[in-house]
């Protein structure tokens, strides 16, 4: 049997070290110069080995930081559909917390970071308000089992505040969720929502928060919620890294719950 090329030998040796935990998940590999010295190889040979492992999804290169062992995370399955009146599937945080807890995993989300701003066209267009109208922004970072899972920002028309929904300005969780709160305070009943799902490259902030490389991809979901008058009442933008998220959309009434395989995250 012909001998493997040098770069394949290096890649295989590094792969074994990753599999055995010598290079733990999330840890940094030796520099290119150190690898050249360790294996007595040229720069191009080491780079070819790195490319091979990158193609296998075992490592990732972060510009200005180095090369790291990829964090292998069990994907979290999110059911996008739910009862909009109760908030399940339609609220900014309640559905996430209940779904994660149901899978016996540990959820955590930061307190909202609240700002009042003149938002960009993509938000005002979905809210169907004038482009110069101010909105309330509530931004949160969300984790599962201490792993960064999503970034979420909800936008509300500022006139909700003048109508009495002042807690939207508070950097705190709203007990029962905003769907229930808006119904109780200003009489807006959420009757439905529309999800617009896109895939794009992460920006610099997302790369750092999710610990992903610049050439990774993220889902971006724009959820527009509608009140009983079919008027947009909220736009929630959630960014999910594609390496740790999967989604289910149910169509029809009273469908059976998903059945998961032995690996725990391939529903049927």
Let me know if residue 266 belongs to a domain: no
Same-domain check for residues 102 and 218: yes
Compute the average pLDDT of residues 54-76. Answer: 81
pLDDT at position 215 is 77
∠ CA 132-134-138 to the nearest 5 degrees? 140
Q: How many CB atoms lie within 10 A of CB 84?
A: 18
Compute the average pLDDT of residues 102-107. Answer: 68
Determine the structural domain holding residue 14 and report its residue range. Answer: 6-69
Q: State percent of the chain over pLDDT 70.
A: 87
Let me know if residue 254 belongs to a domain: no
Separation between Cα atoms, residue 148 and residue 216, nearest integer Å? 15
Same-domain check for residues 124 and 23: no
In the listed set 69, 104, 123, which residue is the last one of a domain according to the structure?
69
Let me know if residue 261 belongs to a domain: no
**Residue 108's CATH number:** 3.40.1410.10
pLDDT for 18-35, tens place per residue?
Answer: 888 899 888 899 999 999
Let me know if residue 257 belongs to a domain: no
Same-domain check for residues 13 and 134: no
Q: Does residue 1 carry a pLDDT above 50?
A: no
Q: Does residue 94 carry a pLDDT above 80?
A: no
Let me know if residue 188 belongs to a domain: yes
In the listed set 51, 69, 87, which residue is the last one of a domain according to the structure?
69
Compute the average pLDDT of residues 80-109. Answer: 63
Same-domain check for residues 58 and 84: no
For residue 65, what are its two tokens?
């930081």
Query: What is the average pLDDT score of the chain?
Result: 86
pLDDT at position 263 is 53
Q: State percent of the chain over pLDDT 90.
A: 53
Residues in the chain: 268
Same-domain check for residues 243 and 228: yes
Predicted TM-score (pTM) above 0.85: no
Let me know if residue 258 belongs to a domain: no
pLDDT for 159-202, tens place per residue?
Answer: 999 999 999 999 999 988 999 999 999 999 999 999 999 999 99
Same-domain check for residues 156 and 196: yes
Compute the average pLDDT of residues 48-75. Answer: 83
Helices (H), the chain: 6-19, 32-39, 43-55, 94-102, 121-127, 159-162, 178-186, 204-210
Compute the average pLDDT of residues 234-262. Answer: 83
Q: Does residue 252 carry a pLDDT above 70?
A: yes
Same-domain check for residues 110 and 236: yes
Compute the average pLDDT of residues 111-118. Answer: 95
Same-domain check for residues 152 and 235: yes
Same-domain check for residues 180 and 108: yes
Same-domain check for residues 48 and 118: no
What phi and psi, each to the nearest 5 degrees, are found at residue 37?
-70, -40
104 half-sphere exposure, CB direction, 13 A CA radius = 1
Instruction: From residue 89, give the alpha-carbon distance in Å to each of 42, 99, 262.
Output: 53, 9, 26
Q: How many CB atoms lie within 10 A of CB 200?
A: 11
Same-domain check for residues 65 and 86: no
How many domains is the chain partitioned into structurally?
2
Burial 159-176 (b: 16+ CB within 10 A, else e): ebbeeebeebbeeebbee
Separation between Cα atoms, residue 135 and residue 38, nearest integer Å? 56
Q: For residue 145, is it left (φ>0), alpha (ψ between -120 and 50) or beta?
A: left
Max Cα-Cα span within the chain: 78
Same-domain check for residues 62 and 80: no
């Amino acid at each position: 049997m012909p001998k493997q090329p040098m770069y394949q030998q290096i890649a295989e040796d590094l792969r074994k070290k990753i599999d055995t935990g010598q290079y733990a998940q999330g840890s940094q590999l030796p520099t290119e110069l150190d690898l050249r010295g360790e294996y007595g190889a040229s720069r191009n040979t080491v780079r070819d080995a790195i490319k091979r492992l990158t193609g296998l999804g075992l490592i990732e290169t972060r510009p200005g930081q180095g090369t790291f062992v990829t964090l292998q995370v069990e994907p979290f399955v999110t059911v996008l559909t739910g009862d909009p009146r109760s908030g399940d599937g339609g609220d900014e945080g309640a559905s996430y917390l209940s779904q994660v807890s149901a899978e016996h995993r540990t959820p955590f989300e930061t307190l909202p970071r609240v700002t009042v701003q003149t938002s960009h066209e993509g938000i005002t267009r979905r809210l169907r308000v004038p482009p110069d109208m101010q909105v309330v922004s509530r931004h949160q970072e969300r984790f599962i089992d201490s792993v960064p899972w999503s970034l979420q920002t909800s936008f509300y028309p500022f006139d909700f505040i003048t109508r009495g929904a002042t807690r939207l300005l508070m950097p705190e969780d709203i007990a029962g969720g905003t769907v229930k709160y808006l119904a109780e305070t200003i009489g807006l009943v959420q009757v439905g929502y529309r999800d617009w799902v896109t895939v794009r490259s992460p920006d610099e902030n997302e790369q750092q928060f999710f610990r992903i490389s610049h050439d990774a991809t993220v889902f971006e979901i724009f959820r527009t919620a509608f009140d009983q008058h079919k008027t947009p009442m909220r736009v929630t933008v959630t960014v999910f890294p594609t390496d740790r998220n999967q989604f289910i959309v149910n169509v029809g009434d009273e469908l059976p719950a998903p059945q998961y395989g032995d690996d725990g995250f391939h529903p049927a």
